[in-house]
Amino acid sequence: MAAARINCSSVQNSLCFLNPLQYYSFNSKASHLRTHLHFRRNFPSPSSRRALFCSAATTRNGGSAEAEPFVLTTPLYYVNAPPHMGSAYTTIAADAIARFQRLLGKKVVFVTGTDEHGEKIAAAAASNGSAPKEHCDVISQAYKNLWKDLDIAYDKFIRTTDPKHEAIVKEFYSRVLASGDIYRADYEGLYCVNCEEYKDEKELLDNNCCPMHLKPCVPRKEDNYFFALSKYQKLLEDTLTQNPDFVKPSFRLNEVQSWIKGGLRDFSISRASVDWGIPVPNDSKQTIYVWFDALLGYISALSEDTKESNLQKAVSSGWPATLHLIGKDILRFHAVYWPAMLMSAGLGLPKMVFGHGFLTKDGMKMGKSLGNTIEPNDLVSKFGSDAVRYFFLREVEFGGDGDYSEARFINIVNAHLANTIGNLLNRTLGLLKKNCQSTLVVDSSIAAVGTAFKDDVEKLVEKARVHYENLSLSSACEAVLEIGNAGNLYMDERAPWSLFKQGGAAAESAAEVFKKHTLLHIF
Ligand SMILES: Nc1ncnc2c1ncn2[C@@H]1O[C@H](COP(=O)(O)OP(=O)(O)OP(=O)(O)O)[C@@H](O)[C@H]1O
Ligand SMILES: [Zn+2]
């Protein structure tokens, strides 16, 4: 008879939005939360962890959950300033999705990194008296440190100043040139340095201010290399019609389609006035436009760190990506410019671009340029990473905007993590620790026995799975919370603690409560 040994630390496995080691206690007197339990680091085997989600995954992939890697990217964050809660938001969401896909048994390649070239970086470095690369090293490290504090388990961290990236950008540029899609011309327009983008006058506020950065755009005239985006108008239109899942949520697809319908203009992909960038092949007087360079980081991240890295090798290591997770501010670059660039270079398109909303402060996008940011480090050191991860995923409907309030943060985390999930884990694990040497042998034949509680929870697990798959992260959190509520109710009804107290046959039957209904197995 096969038996699975399950120990206390296995219970966290379906809580993809939490890190593996922290559970919360509710402290009604204290104005903050505190982490109070740490469990052993011996996690169950990957196969037992996957058991619950795996059957669905295998069915969908025609029997092979491992077939295709799930390649997931965050934006490569611009190192003009250290990370803030907005940068953390995308990365936390990506980490929860990556964990969920790993639970399904997929090979996941989770890519993040930093975008390090361009005028704004050179200016930021100059203003603090450093050389650009020195500045980038410091800020890039700040991102890595924050990801560590937030328990972000990425697989690849690409810096656009990495030599392998530069080689791949030049090769890509040459391919696009060979396709006849690059030409030289004069350009005159209004430029937002913070967006690193020429703007149409009609999208600007009074005084030619950028609506996102509230700073006036400056007139610029340059002799640049251009990418023939307009050539791809029809192809992009057809691609979006045939693959409506390419842009999510669907209301953003409408936005992208209307941009394209409005007419695509070629865009300049080099800068004569910017030294801090990758030189244009065969023209050392110009550097490659930061966006043309940065988007390629998603591909160069996939290549090994060897001198022989090249575009083809990188592409064969997992391209095209399954999912680009981005904020809506950079949707145009990812859903219009990027696919056209890839088509021009003869490379496959990512399967999906998901543009989530903004964390706002007083209704404005929180951002480095406006300086209206919340410090994730402060939140993590005050409340712990689980609380931060959970709150933002649960509170903001993924895709829409959301405001931060500390009072709401404390209420939500106390009610959901401490009072519901933490309480359930505390009670269950406390009883196990006290009465079962922290270990329970769950017989798989018993685990298969149907009970109303187990059936209910399995339905909720399936609900959570569907929400995770659809990237409805707030609803996934809600489904997991429902499992917590059902578990607490079940414990209240059965009160195994009083049976354990009675000892003898009663205690035996309490142990059966755990075995038969396999709460731990379900988690
Ligand atoms: N307020 C925010 N809400 C949600 N995501 C954000 C927010 N700010 C930044 N991000 C994430 O970071 C990406 C932009 O990265 P970037 O490094 O340009 O940061 P930024 O703070 O928006 O910079 P800036 O303020 O200079 O425009 C967004 O696409 C999104 O993924
Ligand atoms: Zn701007």
ipTM confidence score: 0.96
Q: Output the ligand 1 site: residues, CB below 6 A.
A: 75, 77-78, 80, 86-87, 89-90, 194, 326-327, 329-330, 358-359, 365-370
Q: 54-58, 260-264, 459-463 — which is least confidently predicted? A: 54-58
Distance 374 CA to ligand 1 centre (A): 12
Q: Which of 72, 73, 76, 78 to mutate to test the pocket of ligand 1 (most atoms within 8 A of CB)?
A: 78
The mean pLDDT of 19-42, rounded to a whole number, is: 33
Q: 17-21, 436-440, 444-448 — which is least confidently predicted? A: 17-21
CATH assignment of 70-183+235-250+289-383, given 3.30.1330.80, 3.40.50.620, 3.30.70.930, 3.40.50.2020? 3.40.50.620
Q: CA-CA distance, 429 to 9, in Å (whole number)?
A: 9
**Neighbouring residues of the ion ligand 2, judged by CB less than 5 Å:** 192, 194-195, 210, 212-213
pLDDT score of 453 more than 50: yes
Q: For residue 75, what pLDDT band results from cuts at 50, 70 and 90? A: very high
**Residue found by looking up tokens 């057809």 in the block:** 238
Distance 327 CA to ligand 1 centre (A): 7
Ligand nearest to the CA of 210: 2
Q: For residue 474, what pLDDT band results from cuts at 50, 70 and 90? A: very high
pLDDT score of 280 more than 50: yes
The mean pLDDT of 347-352, rounded to a whole number, is: 98
Q: Which residue has the higher pLDDT, 464 or 510?
A: 464
CB 178 within 8 A of CB 311: no
Tell me which residue has its CA closest to atom 7 in ligand 1: 86
Selection from 50-54, 338-342, 422-426 with the highest mean pLDDT? 338-342
Q: CA-CA distance, 154 to 141, in Å (whole number)?
A: 14
Phi/psi of residue 155, each to 5°? -100, -35
The pLDDT mean for the chain works out to 85
Contacts of 51 (CB under 8 A, 6+ apart): none
What residue type is assigned to position 489 of the chain?
A: L
- The counts of H helices and E strands in the chain are 22, 20
**pLDDT of the residue at 18:** 56
Q: How far is CA 77 from the centre of its chain?
A: 12
DSSP state, residue 398: B
Selection from 288-302, 439-453, 501-515 with the highest mean pLDDT? 288-302
Q: Which residue has the higher pLDDT, 353 or 212?
A: 353
Express as a percent the part of the chain with pLDDT over 90.
64
The mean pLDDT of 47-51, rounded to a whole number, is: 45
Q: For residue 441, what pLDDT band results from cuts at 50, 70 and 90? A: low
CA angle 458, 464, 466 (to 5 degrees): 105
For the CA of 77, the closest atom of ligand 1 is 17
Q: For residue 514, what pLDDT band results from cuts at 50, 70 and 90? A: low
Distance 78 CA to ligand 2 centre (A): 13
Q: CA-CA distance, 240 to 261, in Å (whole number)?
A: 12
**pLDDT of the residue at 57:** 39
Domain 3-64+406-522 has CATH 1.10.3470: no
Contacts of 514 (CB under 8 A, 6+ apart): 428, 431, 432, 436, 440, 496, 520
Ligand nearest to the CA of 209: 2
Selection from 436-440, 463-467, 496-500, 512-516 with the highest mean pLDDT? 463-467
Distance 468 CA to ligand 1 centre (A): 23
| DSSP helix/strand/coil, 48 | helix
Q: Which residue has the higher pLDDT, 97 or 41?
A: 97
Q: How is the chain split into domains, by residue range?
A: 3-64+406-522, 70-183+235-250+289-383
Q: CA-CA distance, 120 to 294, in Å (whole number)?
A: 14
CB 331 within 8 A of CB 255: yes
Q: Which of 76, 90, 199 to mutate to test the pocket of ligand 1 (most atoms within 8 A of CB)?
A: 90
**pLDDT of the residue at 155:** 98
Residue 47, H or E segment: helix 46-60
Tell me which residue has its CA closest to atom 15 in ligand 1: 77
**pLDDT of the residue at 114:** 98
**pLDDT of the residue at 445:** 57
18 - beta bridge partners? none
**pLDDT of the residue at 251:** 96
pTM of the model: 0.86
pLDDT score of 56 more than 60: no
Q: For residue 454, what pLDDT band results from cuts at 50, 70 and 90? A: confident
Tell me which residue has its CA closest to atom 6 in ligand 1: 86
Express as a percent the part of the chain with pLDDT over 70.
83
Q: CA-CA distance, 256 to 259, in Å (whole number)?
A: 5
Q: CA-CA distance, 32 to 26, in Å (whole number)?
A: 9
**pLDDT of the residue at 15:** 58
Tell me which residue has its CA closest to atom 11 in ligand 1: 87
Distance 335 CA to ligand 1 centre (A): 17
